[in-house]
Amino acid sequence: MRSVNAIIQELDRIVSHPRVMLEKYLGKGKKVVGCFPIYIPEELVHAGGMIPMGIWGGQVSPAIAGKYSPTFTCSIMRSCMEFGLTGKYQGLSCVLLSVLCDTFRGTSQSWRIGVKDIPIIPFIQPQNRESKAAKEYLIAEYRSVRNRLEEITGCKITDHALSKSIEVYNRHNQTMREFAEVANEHLDVVSAKNRHAVMKSSHFMEKAEHTGIVQELIAGLKALPVCEWKGKKVILTGITAEPNELLDIFTANKIAVVGDDLAQESRQFRTDIPDGDNPMERLTDQWFLRKGCSLVFESHRCRGDMLINQLKENNADGIVVCLMKFCDIEEYEYPIIAQQIEDAGYPTLCIEIDQSTQDNEQSRTKIQSFTEMINDRRP
C-alpha cells in the first residue's frame, strides 16, 4: 500500500495540472464535459460513459475576458471566461452551467458568443422549491440537458445507467464525508493545503476512480497514530479557499482546518441523492434537499446554525469566511452569518478570494491577527 504522503502528492499534482487528466481521458477515447460551479447533475454525464470535469477557473490576470465580463464580475467567472477564450478548455465536448445568479446568466450568453467551439448547455434549477410545479419544471430541465448531451456527444443516457451512476456518486459522497472525519484525527499530516487537494481533485477525476484513491488514503490515515493537535482549529465557509499559498498561511500560523462549508468542497458531498424508483426524479429530489447554501433559496436561512454546529462538533475556535470577490450572493449573506456566529460567542474572520491576484499579504496579516484574537479569547 502506498504511503499517505504519496497519495496526497498524487492528488495535489492532479489539482495543480488538471489538463493532464483531461488528456488522459481523451486519450482513452472518452468524451469529457465541463461542469461550471456549483450544482451540476454530473450523474447524467457519467451515465453516458463520459467524464464530468469541473471548471473552477484559476489564478490568472484576465487579458481578454473583459470583452465579455466586466471587472465587477465575480473573479471565478472571469477566470473561467479567460481560460475558455484562450483555449485552456480545448478538448471538452461541451459545458454545463446552472443559472443560479445574474453572473451565471451573463456568462451563459457570453460563453455562447465568445467560445464558439465548445457548446454550452445552460439550465435553471428553480429557487421556489416549495411549489409542486418546481419539481415538474426541474425534471423537464434535466431531461432537456440529457437530450442535448446525447445530441452533442452521441452518447446514450439510459435510466438504468443513471441509476448506476447515482450509486457511484452517493458512494463517493459517503467516502468524502468519512475522509473529513478521519482527517481531523491526523491534523499533523492533513494540512489545510492537503485537505483541499483531496477535496478539489474530485472535480477532475471519474468519481469511482477518485473514491478508490480516497478510500486508500483513509486506510493509510487510520493506520497512523492519532494526533493530539495543539494549534488552533477553524471552519472555512464560502465558495472556494484558494490558492495554496493562502492555505499555507494557516499552516504557518498553526491553524488546522477541521471542517468546511465551501461550495467547491463539502457542499458538493453533504447531500446524497435519495432512494426511489425513477432515477430522473431521484436526481431532481436532491436539489430540493440542499440547504445552508447562499445559492439556494430558503425561507429560513439555516447556514449560520449549521456553521455553529460545526464549530461545536469539531471543537473549533472560529469561522473563516472566504468571500469571493464581487460575489453578490455571498456578500449579502456574510453580515447575517457573521452576526449569528458572533452572538454564539465565536470569532469570525473575512478574507477576500480573488483569482486575478497573486498577492496574499493582506490575508496573511488578517490571519495573524485572527490567531492573536483566538489566543486572547482562550481561558
Helical segments of the chain, H only? 4-16, 18-27, 42-47, 75-85, 102-114, 132-153, 159-183, 192-200, 207-222, 244-252, 279-289, 303-313, 328-343, 361-377
Q: Which whole number is the average pLDDT over 30-50?
A: 97
How far does CA 257 lie from the centroid of its chain?
A: 16
pTM, full prediction: 0.95
Cell digits of residue 331:
456578500
* 314 or 378, greater pLDDT: 314
Architecture of the domain delimited by 29-160: 3-Layer(aba) Sandwich (3.40)
Sheet holding 348-353, edge to edge: 255-262, 232-238, 318-324, 348-353
pLDDT digit string, tens, across residues 356-371: 776 788 899 999 999 8
Tell which phi-psi region holds residue 204, choosing left (phi > 0), alpha (psi between -120 and 50) or beta. alpha
pLDDT digit string, tens, across residues 117-155: 999 999 999 999 988 899 999 999 999 999 999 999 999
How many whole angstroms separate alpha carbon 63 and alpha carbon 307? 37
* Boundaries of every domain in the chain: 29-160
Cβ neighbours of residue 216 closer than 8 Å, sequence gap 6 or more: 1, 2, 7
Cβ contacts of 102-107, under 8 Å, gap ≥ 24? 102/328, 103/73, 103/74, 103/77, 103/327, 103/328, 104/36, 104/77, 106/69, 106/73, 107/36, 107/69, 107/73, 107/77, 107/80, 107/81
Q: Which whole number is the average pLDDT over 65-88?
A: 89
| Residues 97 and 121 sit within 8 Å (Cβ to Cβ) | yes
pLDDT digit string, tens, across residues 297-328: 988 889 999 999 999 999 999 999 999 988 98
Q: What pLDDT is stored for residue 379 in this prediction?
A: 45
Cell digits of residue 206:
471519474
How many whole angstroms separate alpha carbon 310 and alpha carbon 201? 23
Cell digits of residue 107:
456568462
**66 pLDDT more than 90:** no
Q: Which candidate, 132, 240, 130, 254, places its Cα nearest to that of 196?
A: 240
DSSP string of 261-327, one letter each residue = EETTTGGGTSSPPPP-S-HHHHHHHHHHH--S-TTS--SS--HHHHHHHHHHHTT--EEEEEEETT-
- Average pLDDT of the chain is 94
What number of other Cβ atoms are within 10 A of residue 63's Cβ?
A: 10
Q: What pLDDT is stored for residue 63 in this prediction?
A: 85
Confidence of residue 377 (pLDDT cuts 50, 70, 90): low
**Three-class DSSP category at 224:** coil
Share of the chain above pLDDT 70, in %: 99
